[in-house]
Chain A
Amino acid sequence: MTVPDPILWGALAAIAAMAVATYLCRISGVVMMGFIPLTPHVRRGLAALPGSIVVATVLPLIERLGLAAALALLAAIGSMVLRRSELLALMVGMGVVSVARALGW
């Protein structure tokens, strides 16, 4: 028995496949960690994980996005150190990147 090619509803099947794949990504980390005992090693690893995800996401992006992006992120971090406000940091960062890009950096 063969499955007919998904011609008429292929787009919907593709979207459904994407949805399933993404939902599995969303739950699998939580599910897997439920089977791993929280030994001191695992606890330390989990404690280091959020910052590691943040740095591992941002650094290569800066490299890809260029100097203006690097300046914007530094300015935003500086603003966050001085005032713990995400909104202010976001405005500072976007202001810096707009100016830097307008200058052609």
Chain B
Amino acid sequence: MSSLQELPPRTLRPVLTWNGVFLGARKALVLIPGLVVFAVAFGAAASAKGLSLLEAVLMSAVVYAGVSQLVAIELWRPEWSWGAIAGLAIVTATVNARMVLQGASLQPWLAPYPRLVNALHLFFFTDANWLIGTRYHADGGRDLGVLVGAGFIIWINWVLATVPGYLLGSLVADPRRYGIDLVMPIFFATMIVPLWRGRRAAVPWIVAGIVALATAKLVEGYAFIITGALSGALVGAFRDDRA
């Protein structure tokens, strides 16, 4: 019942197995079709904006963060100044700032692993494997392979699917018609069910939702994830659990 028991002590022995990697990859499979369509859409947008195939694939491979890649394509230009590059980096960091909080929420799980291991697998860290890892950890799982395997299979598909998107371009049908644009929102929303720990534990979530809605009304972009999630965490931290 108590959500405190969900967080293991830092001294827990770290586990990282191939079984975990395969389990994580299998858990990610349901997301691959939607992800492929998203990557295809990115490839098409990149080719329309004049990036070379190499640049589009390279961006998918080393940035590997879909929304920020689409935003970058919006801002893409034929010639770059240092100021424009710095501006793009700042916009990218703003769009991806949610990863800071997602990483923080997993830190108690990651802490016992060697720093180099964490530095390597966090390159593959993204919304989808955060969700899969969080669910797995909330259900009592501790094998880091799940996070790694899910992140890696998503990365491979993301990079590969950029190519046909780039080459086929405008032939790609509107993903909205099949509800593909809702794959990640649906996957996020269903996470509420395994994370549910009773009504009292949901109070911070309600605060998070209200603050996020208000922020979305007032500020453009994706700041609402940060303000909402931080408010929820603060309420969770300072509520008296004994009441």
CB < 8 Å neighbour of A45 from B65, B216, B237: B237
The reply to whether B55 and A11 form a contact with Cβ atoms under 8 Å apart is yes
The answer to whether residues A23 and B186 also contact, given A29-B102, A59-B212 and a CB cut-off of 8 A, is: no
Q: How far is A6 from B234 in the complex, measured between Cα atoms in Å?
A: 43
CB distance from B93 to the nearest CB of A (A): 4
On chain B, the residues within 8 Å of A97 by CB distance are: 179, 182
* Apart from the given pairs A12-B55, A50-B134, 10 other A-B contacts in the complex at a CB distance below 8 Å: A18-B89, A21-B90, A22-B63, A22-B68, A28-B100, A30-B107, A38-B108, A52-B205, A55-B206, A77-B192
A103 at the interface (CB under 8 A from B): no
CB distance from B45 to the nearest CB of A (A): 15
Report B221-243 residues with CB < 8 Å from chain A CB. 224-225, 227-239, 241
On chain B, the residues within 8 Å of A20 by CB distance are: 89
The answer to whether residues A44 and B188 also contact, given A15-B59, A29-B103, A38-B10 and a CB cut-off of 8 A, is: no
**Beta-carbon contacts of A10-47 to B below 8 Å, as 1s and 0s?**
11111111111111111111101110001011111111
Chain A, interface residues (CB within 8 Å), range: 35 or more
The reply to whether A29 and B104 form a contact with Cβ atoms under 8 Å apart is yes
B204 at the interface (CB under 8 A from A): yes
B110 at the interface (CB under 8 A from A): yes
**Beta-carbon contacts of A76-92 to B below 8 Å, as 1s and 0s?**
11011100101101100
**Beta-carbon contacts of B164-197 to A below 8 Å, as 1s and 0s?**
0000000000001111111101111111111100
The answer to whether residues A54 and B89 also contact, given A16-B62, A30-B122, A77-B193 and a CB cut-off of 8 A, is: no
